[in-house]
Amino acid sequence: MNREFQSLMEDVEQREEELIELVKELIAFQTPAPPARNTADAQLFVASFLKKHGFHIDMWDVYPGDPNVVGVLKGTDSNSYNSLIINGHMDVAEVNADENWGISPFQAEIKGDVIIGRGTADMKGGLAASLFAIQLLREAGLDLPGDVIFESVIGEEVGEAGTLQCCERGYTADFALIADTSNLHIQGQGGVITGWITVKSSQTFHDATRKNMIHAGGNIFGANAIEKMMKIMNGLQELERHWAVTKGYPGFPPGANTINPAVIEGGRNAAFIADECRLWVTVHFYPNESYEQIIKEIEEHIINVAKGDPWLKEHLPCFEWGGTSMIEDRGEVFPAFEIETNHPAIRLLANSHNEVTGKNPVIDVSPTVTDGGWLADAGIPSALYGPGQLEHAHSVNEQVSIQQLIEFTKVVLRFIYEWVHTKKGA
Protein backbone atom coordinates (compact mmCIF):
# COMPACT_ATOMS: atom_id res chain seq x y z
CA MET A 1 0.00 0.00 0.00
CA ASN A 2 1.49 3.30 -1.09
CA ARG A 3 2.61 6.08 1.24
CA GLU A 4 -0.10 8.43 -0.02
CA PHE A 5 -2.76 5.99 1.07
CA GLN A 6 -1.11 5.44 4.46
CA SER A 7 -1.37 9.17 5.10
CA LEU A 8 -5.12 8.91 4.48
CA MET A 9 -5.39 6.43 7.33
CA GLU A 10 -3.70 8.95 9.59
CA ASP A 11 -6.08 11.65 8.35
CA VAL A 12 -9.04 9.75 9.82
CA GLU A 13 -7.86 10.45 13.35
CA GLN A 14 -6.51 13.92 12.60
CA ARG A 15 -9.89 14.88 11.11
CA GLU A 16 -11.97 13.18 13.80
CA GLU A 17 -13.98 16.37 14.41
CA GLU A 18 -15.13 16.41 10.78
CA LEU A 19 -16.38 12.84 11.13
CA ILE A 20 -18.25 13.69 14.33
CA GLU A 21 -19.81 16.76 12.73
CA LEU A 22 -20.99 14.67 9.79
CA VAL A 23 -22.66 12.22 12.19
CA LYS A 24 -24.32 15.14 13.96
CA GLU A 25 -25.54 16.60 10.66
CA LEU A 26 -27.25 13.34 9.74
CA ILE A 27 -28.77 12.95 13.21
CA ALA A 28 -30.25 16.48 12.96
CA PHE A 29 -32.48 15.33 10.11
CA GLN A 30 -35.54 13.94 11.89
CA THR A 31 -36.25 10.72 9.99
CA PRO A 32 -38.06 8.34 12.37
CA ALA A 33 -40.16 5.54 10.90
CA PRO A 34 -42.91 5.43 11.83
CA PRO A 35 -44.24 7.95 10.90
CA ALA A 36 -41.84 7.93 7.89
CA ARG A 37 -42.28 10.09 4.75
CA ASN A 38 -39.70 12.48 6.20
CA THR A 39 -36.31 11.67 4.63
CA ALA A 40 -36.33 13.98 1.59
CA ASP A 41 -34.11 16.69 3.09
CA ALA A 42 -31.65 14.16 4.49
CA GLN A 43 -31.46 12.34 1.19
CA LEU A 44 -30.89 15.60 -0.68
CA PHE A 45 -27.97 16.21 1.68
CA VAL A 46 -26.47 12.80 0.81
CA ALA A 47 -27.07 13.34 -2.90
CA SER A 48 -25.31 16.71 -2.75
CA PHE A 49 -22.42 15.21 -0.77
CA LEU A 50 -21.91 12.40 -3.28
CA LYS A 51 -22.31 14.68 -6.30
CA LYS A 52 -19.66 17.00 -4.88
CA HIS A 53 -17.26 14.06 -4.86
CA GLY A 54 -17.88 13.02 -8.45
CA PHE A 55 -20.74 10.55 -8.16
CA HIS A 56 -23.55 10.36 -10.70
CA ILE A 57 -26.82 10.64 -8.75
CA ASP A 58 -30.02 8.65 -9.22
CA MET A 59 -32.78 9.81 -6.85
CA TRP A 60 -36.38 8.68 -6.91
CA ASP A 61 -39.37 8.51 -4.57
CA VAL A 62 -40.10 5.12 -3.06
CA TYR A 63 -42.98 6.91 -1.32
CA PRO A 64 -43.75 10.64 -1.43
CA GLY A 65 -41.32 12.28 0.99
CA ASP A 66 -39.13 9.18 1.13
CA PRO A 67 -36.68 9.02 -1.79
CA ASN A 68 -33.81 6.63 -2.39
CA VAL A 69 -30.42 8.01 -3.38
CA VAL A 70 -27.92 5.97 -5.36
CA GLY A 71 -24.57 7.49 -6.22
CA VAL A 72 -22.37 5.78 -8.83
CA LEU A 73 -18.67 6.50 -9.20
CA LYS A 74 -17.47 4.77 -12.35
CA GLY A 75 -14.04 3.21 -12.09
CA THR A 76 -11.21 3.88 -14.50
CA ASP A 77 -11.32 0.23 -15.65
CA SER A 78 -14.75 -1.07 -14.62
CA ASN A 79 -14.66 -4.13 -16.85
CA SER A 80 -11.49 -5.50 -15.25
CA TYR A 81 -11.74 -4.55 -11.57
CA ASN A 82 -14.17 -5.38 -8.78
CA SER A 83 -17.16 -3.20 -8.03
CA LEU A 84 -18.62 -2.43 -4.60
CA ILE A 85 -22.00 -1.44 -3.19
CA ILE A 86 -22.08 0.33 0.17
CA ASN A 87 -25.63 0.26 1.51
CA GLY A 88 -27.29 1.99 4.45
CA HIS A 89 -30.71 3.25 5.51
CA MET A 90 -31.57 6.84 6.37
CA ASP A 91 -34.64 6.09 8.50
CA VAL A 92 -34.27 5.62 12.26
CA ALA A 93 -36.42 4.13 15.00
CA GLU A 94 -39.35 6.16 16.29
CA VAL A 95 -39.06 8.33 19.39
CA ASN A 96 -41.99 8.30 21.82
CA ALA A 97 -42.92 11.41 23.78
CA ASP A 98 -42.60 9.64 27.13
CA GLU A 99 -39.03 8.41 26.58
CA ASN A 100 -36.60 9.77 29.15
CA TRP A 101 -33.78 11.07 26.96
CA GLY A 102 -31.13 13.13 28.68
CA ILE A 103 -30.77 15.22 25.51
CA SER A 104 -32.88 16.16 22.51
CA PRO A 105 -32.78 12.92 20.45
CA PHE A 106 -32.05 14.77 17.21
CA GLN A 107 -29.38 17.09 18.58
CA ALA A 108 -26.52 14.69 19.05
CA GLU A 109 -24.14 15.29 21.93
CA ILE A 110 -20.79 13.90 22.93
CA LYS A 111 -20.60 12.43 26.41
CA GLY A 112 -17.27 10.88 27.27
CA ASP A 113 -16.24 8.64 24.39
CA VAL A 114 -19.68 8.24 22.78
CA ILE A 115 -22.05 10.24 20.58
CA ILE A 116 -25.65 10.13 21.82
CA GLY A 117 -28.61 10.68 19.51
CA ARG A 118 -31.35 8.83 17.68
CA GLY A 119 -29.77 6.85 14.87
CA THR A 120 -26.16 6.99 16.04
CA ALA A 121 -25.94 3.20 16.26
CA ASP A 122 -28.72 2.33 13.81
CA MET A 123 -27.36 3.50 11.49
CA LYS A 124 -26.41 7.09 10.75
CA GLY A 125 -23.03 6.49 12.37
CA GLY A 126 -22.27 3.86 9.72
CA LEU A 127 -23.67 6.06 6.94
CA ALA A 128 -21.61 9.07 8.02
CA ALA A 129 -18.40 7.09 8.42
CA SER A 130 -18.83 5.47 5.01
CA LEU A 131 -19.40 8.87 3.40
CA PHE A 132 -16.36 10.28 5.21
CA ALA A 133 -14.18 7.42 3.91
CA ILE A 134 -15.35 8.23 0.38
CA GLN A 135 -14.62 11.93 0.95
CA LEU A 136 -11.04 11.18 2.00
CA LEU A 137 -10.45 8.94 -1.01
CA ARG A 138 -11.81 11.53 -3.44
CA GLU A 139 -9.95 14.46 -1.88
CA ALA A 140 -6.71 12.52 -2.21
CA GLY A 141 -7.35 12.19 -5.95
CA LEU A 142 -6.62 8.46 -5.94
CA ASP A 143 -7.69 6.51 -9.02
CA LEU A 144 -10.24 3.78 -8.32
CA PRO A 145 -10.28 1.20 -11.12
CA GLY A 146 -13.56 -0.48 -10.04
CA ASP A 147 -17.00 1.07 -9.58
CA VAL A 148 -18.22 2.33 -6.20
CA ILE A 149 -21.99 2.47 -5.72
CA PHE A 150 -23.39 4.17 -2.63
CA GLU A 151 -27.01 3.38 -1.71
CA SER A 152 -28.75 5.57 0.88
CA VAL A 153 -32.16 3.95 1.17
CA ILE A 154 -35.39 4.42 3.08
CA GLY A 155 -37.78 2.18 4.93
CA GLU A 156 -35.61 -0.44 6.62
CA GLU A 157 -37.12 0.15 10.04
CA VAL A 158 -40.65 -0.61 8.79
CA GLY A 159 -39.88 -3.26 6.19
CA GLU A 160 -40.22 -0.99 3.18
CA ALA A 161 -38.72 -1.66 -0.21
CA GLY A 162 -35.92 0.89 -0.42
CA THR A 163 -33.11 -1.59 -0.97
CA LEU A 164 -35.36 -3.96 -2.91
CA GLN A 165 -36.10 -1.16 -5.37
CA CYS A 166 -32.36 -0.54 -5.83
CA CYS A 167 -31.98 -4.20 -6.81
CA GLU A 168 -35.03 -4.07 -9.08
CA ARG A 169 -33.62 -0.92 -10.70
CA GLY A 170 -30.60 -2.95 -11.76
CA TYR A 171 -27.90 -1.85 -9.33
CA THR A 172 -25.48 -4.69 -8.75
CA ALA A 173 -21.83 -5.22 -7.87
CA ASP A 174 -19.25 -7.87 -7.13
CA PHE A 175 -19.79 -7.34 -3.41
CA ALA A 176 -22.11 -5.40 -1.09
CA LEU A 177 -21.17 -4.02 2.32
CA ILE A 178 -24.15 -3.14 4.52
CA ALA A 179 -22.89 -0.65 7.10
CA ASP A 180 -25.60 -1.47 9.64
CA THR A 181 -25.23 -2.14 13.36
CA SER A 182 -22.89 -5.10 13.90
CA ASN A 183 -20.35 -4.00 16.54
CA LEU A 184 -17.71 -4.42 13.81
CA HIS A 185 -18.56 -8.10 13.43
CA ILE A 186 -18.76 -9.49 9.88
CA GLN A 187 -22.22 -10.99 9.78
CA GLY A 188 -24.86 -12.83 7.86
CA GLN A 189 -28.41 -13.00 9.16
CA GLY A 190 -31.53 -15.04 9.56
CA GLY A 191 -34.71 -13.94 7.86
CA VAL A 192 -38.17 -12.68 8.78
CA ILE A 193 -41.45 -12.84 6.95
CA THR A 194 -44.90 -11.78 8.08
CA GLY A 195 -48.10 -13.34 6.86
CA TRP A 196 -51.86 -13.35 7.23
CA ILE A 197 -53.82 -16.59 7.63
CA THR A 198 -57.55 -16.22 7.01
CA VAL A 199 -60.39 -18.56 7.95
CA LYS A 200 -63.66 -17.58 6.32
CA SER A 201 -67.17 -19.03 6.30
CA SER A 202 -69.16 -19.12 3.08
CA GLN A 203 -72.24 -18.09 5.07
CA THR A 204 -73.05 -15.62 7.83
CA PHE A 205 -75.26 -16.68 10.77
CA HIS A 206 -77.17 -14.90 13.54
CA ASP A 207 -75.73 -15.57 16.96
CA ALA A 208 -78.99 -17.26 17.98
CA THR A 209 -78.17 -20.14 15.62
CA ARG A 210 -75.11 -21.13 17.63
CA LYS A 211 -77.09 -23.80 19.49
CA ASN A 212 -77.89 -25.43 16.16
CA MET A 213 -74.20 -25.59 15.27
CA ILE A 214 -72.81 -27.08 18.46
CA HIS A 215 -75.56 -29.30 19.91
CA ALA A 216 -76.81 -32.68 18.73
CA GLY A 217 -79.49 -32.55 16.07
CA GLY A 218 -78.99 -28.84 15.36
CA ASN A 219 -78.55 -29.65 11.69
CA ILE A 220 -76.55 -26.52 10.69
CA PHE A 221 -73.16 -27.15 9.14
CA GLY A 222 -71.54 -23.95 10.33
CA ALA A 223 -68.72 -22.79 12.58
CA ASN A 224 -67.32 -19.83 14.41
CA ALA A 225 -64.21 -18.73 12.48
CA ILE A 226 -62.50 -17.48 15.66
CA GLU A 227 -62.83 -20.91 17.27
CA LYS A 228 -61.57 -22.62 14.13
CA MET A 229 -58.56 -20.28 14.10
CA MET A 230 -57.65 -21.76 17.48
CA LYS A 231 -56.95 -25.04 15.69
CA ILE A 232 -54.76 -23.21 13.20
CA MET A 233 -52.84 -21.59 16.06
CA ASN A 234 -52.35 -24.97 17.74
CA GLY A 235 -51.02 -26.27 14.43
CA LEU A 236 -48.54 -23.40 14.20
CA GLN A 237 -47.31 -24.13 17.72
CA GLU A 238 -46.78 -27.79 16.80
CA LEU A 239 -44.76 -26.78 13.75
CA GLU A 240 -42.75 -24.28 15.79
CA ARG A 241 -41.84 -27.01 18.31
CA HIS A 242 -40.95 -29.37 15.47
CA TRP A 243 -38.63 -26.77 13.95
CA ALA A 244 -36.98 -26.16 17.33
CA VAL A 245 -36.23 -29.89 17.64
CA THR A 246 -35.16 -30.60 14.08
CA LYS A 247 -33.46 -27.39 12.92
CA GLY A 248 -30.53 -25.30 14.09
CA TYR A 249 -27.79 -22.99 12.88
CA PRO A 250 -24.38 -22.12 14.35
CA GLY A 251 -24.52 -18.89 16.33
CA PHE A 252 -28.25 -19.08 17.03
CA PRO A 253 -29.68 -20.42 20.30
CA PRO A 254 -31.95 -23.45 19.92
CA GLY A 255 -35.48 -22.49 19.01
CA ALA A 256 -34.60 -19.12 17.49
CA ASN A 257 -36.76 -20.05 14.49
CA THR A 258 -40.17 -18.97 15.75
CA ILE A 259 -43.74 -18.48 14.56
CA ASN A 260 -45.31 -15.65 16.53
CA PRO A 261 -49.12 -15.14 16.42
CA ALA A 262 -48.89 -11.36 16.64
CA VAL A 263 -52.36 -10.00 15.86
CA ILE A 264 -55.79 -11.57 15.56
CA GLU A 265 -58.83 -9.96 13.93
CA GLY A 266 -62.25 -11.56 13.64
CA GLY A 267 -65.98 -11.29 13.88
CA ARG A 268 -68.45 -8.50 13.10
CA ASN A 269 -70.22 -7.82 16.39
CA ALA A 270 -71.90 -9.69 19.23
CA ALA A 271 -75.06 -10.40 17.21
CA PHE A 272 -73.26 -12.60 14.66
CA ILE A 273 -71.40 -15.85 14.58
CA ALA A 274 -67.87 -14.83 13.56
CA ASP A 275 -67.72 -15.57 9.84
CA GLU A 276 -64.10 -14.55 9.34
CA CYS A 277 -60.93 -14.56 11.36
CA ARG A 278 -57.48 -13.31 10.31
CA LEU A 279 -54.22 -14.09 12.08
CA TRP A 280 -51.07 -12.02 11.53
CA VAL A 281 -47.91 -14.05 12.15
CA THR A 282 -44.22 -13.18 12.23
CA VAL A 283 -41.84 -15.98 11.27
CA HIS A 284 -38.10 -16.03 11.98
CA PHE A 285 -35.95 -18.48 10.04
CA TYR A 286 -32.29 -19.41 9.71
CA PRO A 287 -29.62 -18.04 7.33
CA ASN A 288 -29.59 -21.24 5.25
CA GLU A 289 -33.34 -21.08 4.60
CA SER A 290 -35.35 -19.08 2.07
CA TYR A 291 -38.65 -17.38 2.77
CA GLU A 292 -40.17 -19.35 -0.14
CA GLN A 293 -39.19 -22.58 1.59
CA ILE A 294 -40.63 -21.40 4.91
CA ILE A 295 -43.93 -20.38 3.29
CA LYS A 296 -44.22 -23.83 1.70
CA GLU A 297 -43.57 -25.62 5.01
CA ILE A 298 -46.16 -23.57 6.91
CA GLU A 299 -48.86 -23.80 4.27
CA GLU A 300 -48.46 -27.55 3.82
CA HIS A 301 -48.65 -28.15 7.56
CA ILE A 302 -51.66 -25.90 8.16
CA ILE A 303 -53.58 -27.32 5.20
CA ASN A 304 -53.02 -30.81 6.64
CA VAL A 305 -54.28 -29.57 10.03
CA ALA A 306 -57.35 -28.11 8.37
CA LYS A 307 -58.06 -31.33 6.48
CA GLY A 308 -58.37 -33.10 9.82
CA ASP A 309 -61.34 -30.92 10.80
CA PRO A 310 -64.80 -31.60 9.26
CA TRP A 311 -65.60 -27.91 8.72
CA LEU A 312 -62.12 -26.55 7.94
CA LYS A 313 -61.51 -29.13 5.21
CA GLU A 314 -64.49 -27.57 3.41
CA HIS A 315 -63.29 -24.04 4.19
CA LEU A 316 -59.52 -24.26 3.82
CA PRO A 317 -57.55 -21.30 5.18
CA CYS A 318 -56.07 -18.71 2.82
CA PHE A 319 -52.58 -17.24 3.07
CA GLU A 320 -51.04 -13.86 2.23
CA TRP A 321 -47.31 -13.49 2.72
CA GLY A 322 -44.91 -10.60 3.00
CA GLY A 323 -45.48 -7.10 1.74
CA THR A 324 -43.48 -4.00 0.93
CA SER A 325 -44.36 -1.92 3.99
CA MET A 326 -45.50 -2.44 7.55
CA ILE A 327 -47.11 1.00 7.25
CA GLU A 328 -48.85 0.70 3.87
CA ASP A 329 -49.88 -2.94 3.63
CA ARG A 330 -48.95 -4.43 7.02
CA GLY A 331 -46.40 -6.87 5.70
CA GLU A 332 -42.65 -7.30 5.28
CA VAL A 333 -39.93 -9.67 4.14
CA PHE A 334 -36.28 -9.73 5.15
CA PRO A 335 -34.49 -12.54 3.31
CA ALA A 336 -31.79 -14.48 5.12
CA PHE A 337 -28.22 -14.92 3.92
CA GLU A 338 -25.06 -16.71 4.90
CA ILE A 339 -21.50 -15.40 4.96
CA GLU A 340 -19.24 -16.98 2.33
CA THR A 341 -16.13 -17.10 4.51
CA ASN A 342 -13.87 -18.03 1.58
CA HIS A 343 -15.12 -15.25 -0.68
CA PRO A 344 -12.21 -12.94 -1.55
CA ALA A 345 -14.15 -9.86 -0.37
CA ILE A 346 -14.79 -11.44 3.04
CA ARG A 347 -11.13 -12.38 3.35
CA LEU A 348 -10.13 -8.85 2.38
CA LEU A 349 -12.61 -7.27 4.80
CA ALA A 350 -11.34 -9.52 7.59
CA ASN A 351 -7.74 -8.60 6.77
CA SER A 352 -8.62 -4.89 6.69
CA HIS A 353 -10.23 -5.22 10.12
CA ASN A 354 -7.15 -7.01 11.45
CA GLU A 355 -4.75 -4.40 10.01
CA VAL A 356 -6.69 -1.54 11.60
CA THR A 357 -7.66 -3.00 14.98
CA GLY A 358 -4.88 -5.54 15.51
CA LYS A 359 -7.51 -8.22 16.10
CA ASN A 360 -9.13 -10.90 13.99
CA PRO A 361 -12.76 -10.00 13.35
CA VAL A 362 -15.66 -11.99 14.71
CA ILE A 363 -17.51 -13.64 11.82
CA ASP A 364 -20.96 -14.66 12.95
CA VAL A 365 -24.68 -14.01 12.42
CA SER A 366 -26.78 -11.03 13.39
CA PRO A 367 -29.61 -11.77 15.83
CA THR A 368 -31.75 -9.26 13.93
CA VAL A 369 -32.46 -8.56 10.25
CA THR A 370 -31.38 -5.86 7.81
CA ASP A 371 -31.71 -4.89 4.15
CA GLY A 372 -28.64 -6.99 3.44
CA GLY A 373 -30.95 -9.90 2.73
CA TRP A 374 -32.30 -8.20 -0.39
CA LEU A 375 -28.82 -7.64 -1.81
CA ALA A 376 -27.90 -11.26 -1.20
CA ASP A 377 -31.27 -12.37 -2.59
CA ALA A 378 -30.36 -10.48 -5.79
CA GLY A 379 -27.26 -12.65 -6.12
CA ILE A 380 -24.74 -10.17 -4.72
CA PRO A 381 -22.26 -11.61 -2.17
CA SER A 382 -22.91 -9.50 0.93
CA ALA A 383 -21.94 -8.88 4.53
CA LEU A 384 -23.09 -6.75 7.43
CA TYR A 385 -20.26 -4.73 8.90
CA GLY A 386 -20.87 -1.54 10.80
CA PRO A 387 -20.28 0.40 14.01
CA GLY A 388 -22.64 0.35 16.96
CA GLN A 389 -23.95 -2.28 19.33
CA LEU A 390 -27.41 -3.76 18.86
CA GLU A 391 -28.27 -3.15 22.53
CA HIS A 392 -28.03 0.59 21.85
CA ALA A 393 -30.08 0.55 18.64
CA HIS A 394 -33.69 1.78 19.13
CA SER A 395 -32.89 2.51 22.78
CA VAL A 396 -33.34 5.65 24.84
CA ASN A 397 -30.07 7.61 24.68
CA GLU A 398 -28.95 5.62 21.64
CA GLN A 399 -25.20 5.92 21.25
CA VAL A 400 -22.12 4.88 19.32
CA SER A 401 -18.47 4.76 20.35
CA ILE A 402 -16.32 7.44 18.72
CA GLN A 403 -13.36 5.06 18.69
CA GLN A 404 -15.44 2.46 16.89
CA LEU A 405 -16.52 5.04 14.32
CA ILE A 406 -12.85 5.85 13.67
CA GLU A 407 -11.91 2.19 13.39
CA PHE A 408 -14.82 1.53 11.05
CA THR A 409 -13.88 4.47 8.84
CA LYS A 410 -10.30 3.20 8.56
CA VAL A 411 -11.42 -0.34 7.76
CA VAL A 412 -13.88 0.83 5.11
CA LEU A 413 -11.31 3.21 3.62
CA ARG A 414 -8.80 0.39 3.28
CA PHE A 415 -11.41 -2.09 2.07
CA ILE A 416 -12.84 0.18 -0.63
CA TYR A 417 -9.38 1.02 -1.94
CA GLU A 418 -8.12 -2.56 -2.05
CA TRP A 419 -11.33 -4.20 -3.29
CA VAL A 420 -11.75 -1.92 -6.31
CA HIS A 421 -8.03 -2.40 -7.05
CA THR A 422 -8.55 -6.18 -7.18
CA LYS A 423 -9.12 -7.72 -10.60
CA LYS A 424 -12.40 -9.53 -11.14
CA GLY A 425 -12.07 -13.25 -10.44
CA ALA A 426 -8.78 -12.85 -8.60
CA angle, residues 14, 120, 345, in degrees to nearest 5: 70
pLDDT in tens, 222-272: 999 999 999 999 999 999 999 999 999 999 999 999 999 999 999 999 999
Domain with CATH 3.40.630.10 in the chain: 3-189+337-419
Instruction: Write down the catalytic residue from 11, 66, 91, 418.
Output: 91
Asked if 91 is an active-site residue, the reply is yes
What pLDDT shows up at residue 426?
A: 83
Q: Is 399 exposed, middle or buried (0-12, 13-18, 19+ CB in 10 A)?
A: buried
pLDDT of 77 higher than 80: yes
Q: What is the mean pLDDT of the chain?
A: 96
pLDDT of 106 higher than 70: yes
Q: What is the mean pLDDT of residues 295-307?
A: 98
Q: Give the pLDDT band of residue 1 (cuts 50, 70, 90).
A: low
pLDDT of 199 higher than 80: yes
Q: What is the mean pLDDT of residues 170-194?
A: 98
What pLDDT shows up at residue 4?
A: 74
CATH of 3-189+337-419, one of 3.90.1150.10, 1.10.760.10, 3.40.630.10, 3.30.470.20: 3.40.630.10
pLDDT of 29 higher than 80: yes
What pLDDT shows up at residue 216?
A: 86
CATH topology of domain 191-321: Alpha-Beta Plaits (3.30.70)
- Strand order, beta sheet including 109-111: 109-111, 114-116, 399-401
Residue pair 42/381 in contact (Cβ under 8 Å)? The answer is: no
Tell me the CA end-to-end span of the chain in Å, nearest whole number: 18
Q: State the pTM of this model.
A: 0.95
Burial call 171-206: b when 16+ CB within 10 Å, e when fewer: bbbbbbbbbbbbbbbbbbbbbbbbbbbbbebeeebe
Q: Give the pLDDT band of residue 3 (cuts 50, 70, 90).
A: confident
Q: What is the mean pLDDT of residues 143-148?
A: 96
Listed in sequence order, the DSSP H helices in 97-172 are 125-139, 162-168
Residue pair 93/394 in contact (Cβ under 8 Å)? The answer is: yes
Name the phi and psi angles at 301, rounded to 5.
-65, -45
Beta strands in 203-338 (DSSP E): 259-266, 276-285, 318-321, 333-334
- Could you tell me what percent of the chain has a pLDDT over 70? 100
Those residues whose C-beta lies under 8 Å from the C-beta of residue 245, and which sit 6 or more positions away, are none
State how far the Cα of 319 lies from the Cα of 305, in Å rounded to an integer: 14
Asked if 156 is an active-site residue, the reply is yes
Q: Give the pLDDT band of residue 40 (cuts 50, 70, 90).
A: very high
What pLDDT shows up at residue 219?
A: 86
Instruction: Write down the catalytic residue from 147, 151, 156, 289.
Output: 156
Q: Give the pLDDT band of residue 5 (cuts 50, 70, 90).
A: confident
Q: Give the pLDDT band of residue 291 (cuts 50, 70, 90).
A: very high
Residue pair 193/333 in contact (Cβ under 8 Å)? The answer is: yes
- Could you tell me what percent of the chain has a pLDDT over 90? 94
Domain with CATH 3.30.70.360 in the chain: 191-321
Strands 191-200, 56-63: pairing is: unpaired
Q: What is the mean pLDDT of residues 145-171?
A: 98
